[in-house]
């Protein structure tokens, strides 16, 4: 039976999140279970991919991963998203306990169509941050309200976050998530995404493998 709850964000807005269904999720990286959640306000579905028993646990290894169809599914070399997702799954499998929160907010929250528009601009020499701004968006439109709710619903007491993005730590803490630490995801760049990674470091404060 679906479970409805409300979650407050740092901005004071409220959203309805609905826990819908759970199923086993065997993968090439190990055996997980998946719990689907619906954001009834935004009409998006999110997924918690869970390894082991996390309820009541502290310092649970967590990756909060925003959807990237091109990187996650198609193997695009323009970003490091797919590599970070796969590395997170391997790390959690090795640990024996952890969570990947797969949030449906493509293109740092601007959606797939606008993401491709941003790619077109990048092909003309505009960087990823400037492209979002020229399209009328903030450099990063993502929200982590859903992540905060799901972690609470799963009964996690505190987390260690798998991320290269310190701002993600700040935002989750502002939403009431107890973040006890951060573990980097060391992913080497390639000839295609070197400028993209450099822009994330310079303009968005990401901590990359050469720091």
Q: Give pairs for 188-196: CB < 8 Å, separation 24+.
A: 189/80, 190/77, 192/77, 192/78, 193/77, 193/78, 193/79, 193/80, 195/127, 196/78, 196/79, 196/80, 196/122, 196/127, 196/128
The catalytic position among 33, 142, 209, 210 is 142
Query: Which of these is catalytic: 140, 153, 186, 191?
Result: 140
The residue whose two tokens read 């502290």 is 58
d(CA 156, CA 150): 9
Beta bridge partners of 30: 27
142 is catalytic: yes
Provide the 3-class DSSP secondary structure of residue 92: helix
The alpha carbons of the chain give a radius of gyration, in whole angstroms, of: 17
- Indicate if 140 belongs to the active site: yes
Residues with catalytic function: 140, 142
């Amino acid at each position: 039976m679906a479970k409805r709850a409300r979650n407050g964000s740092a901005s004071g807005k409220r959203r309805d999140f609905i826990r819908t269904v759970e199923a086993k999720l065997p993968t090439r990286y190990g055996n997980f279970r998946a719990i689907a959640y619906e954001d009834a306000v935004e009409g998006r579905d999110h997924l918690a991919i869970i390894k082991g028993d996390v309820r009541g646990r502290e310092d649970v290894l967590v990756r909060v991963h925003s959807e990237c169809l091109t990187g996650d599914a198609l193997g695009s070399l323009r970003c490091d998203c797919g590599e970070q997702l796969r590395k997170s799954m391997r790390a959690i499998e090795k640990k024996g306990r952890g969570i990947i929160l797969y949030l449906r907010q493509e293109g740092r929250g601007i959606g797939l169509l606008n993401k491709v528009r941003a790619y077109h601009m990048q092909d003309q020499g505009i960087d990823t941050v400037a492209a979002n701004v020229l399209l009328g968006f903030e450099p990063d439109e993502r929200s982590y309200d859903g992540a905060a709710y799901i972690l609470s619903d799963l009964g996690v007491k505190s987390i260690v976050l798998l991320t290269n993005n310190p701002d993600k730590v700040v935002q989750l803490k502002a939403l009431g998530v107890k973040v006890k630490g951060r573990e980097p995801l060391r992913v080497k760049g390639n000839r295609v995404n070197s400028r993209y990674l450099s822009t994330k470091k310079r303009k968005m404060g990401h901590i990359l493998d050469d720091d």
